[in-house]
Amino acid sequence: MGKEISINGYELEICSNSPQSACYAAKGGATRVELCQNLENGGTTPSYGQIVQTRRLVDIGIHVLIRPRGGDFVYSDLEFEEILADIQFCKKEGCDGVVIGVMCKDGTVDVKRTKALVEAARPMHVTFHRAFDKCADPFTSLDVLIGLGIDRVLTSGLQNRAEDAVALLKQLVAHAAGRIVIMPGAGVDSSNMEMILKATGVTAIHSSAKETISSQMIFDRAEVAGMNEPIFSTSKEKVHQLVDILKKE
């Protein structure tokens, strides 16, 4: 298990898409990482090797995104069994938490399945991810998650970027009243984090702090499309910038 740390009373979670990115996040001073892969598609469950390597290399908290595919958050029975199996593996490997999100077709939280996932995950921490931003009623959904014992909600305030939803985020913090952590994410960086913190009153923040890495290939076969695209990586320098801001708050 990773050590629980805070930065001047704040949690800084960095979304990292590889063991290398997780190392950069830790060296930059992050509280924990949300480990995923396929960040270009919003993030999916990391591989066995990524989870094992990250746990071996990183001593801060590791919360693993459990999302079997891109697209919506309405899952088949087979997909749900896959989610359960991934949660059990994360527990076995000493991860600190999992990040889940299961919805019904009508925009409500899938209570039965979420309850089963929370029970399977304990004693790990459980975060409900940005599936929340597709809900029909944020306050009703928040009450449901509180009742299910979810520890925190990662949300952009039902907008594409958290900075555009500070009014709702502040209302969610007030509605939560300390019963669940509201953690803004999506488009959070050094240019807007301080504003989001002050405008909403949150004490946890989520950022990818990413940079774009161009292909290392010198030779390219123009006849074959793709397989040479830029990739994302956590930037240790960008994490440092966020940490420095939090230390001054």
Q: What are phi and psi of 46, to 5 degrees?
A: -70, 165
Return the ∠ at Cα 26 (arms to 196 and 88), rounded to 5°: 95
Q: What's this model's pTM, rounded to 2 decimal places?
A: 0.96
Domain boundaries, the chain: 11-214+230-248
CA distance 31 to 12: 5
* pLDDT in the model for residue 40: 86
pLDDT averaged over consecutive 10-residue blocks of the chain (249 residues)? 87 98 98 95 96 97 98 98 98 97 98 98 98 98 98 98 98 98 97 98 97 92 90 96 95
* pLDDT in the model for residue 58: 96
**Percentage helix, strand, coil, to 5, in the chain?**
40, 20, 40
| CATH, domain 11-214+230-248, list 3.30.70.1170, 3.20.20.380, 3.40.50.720, 3.40.50.1980 | 3.20.20.380
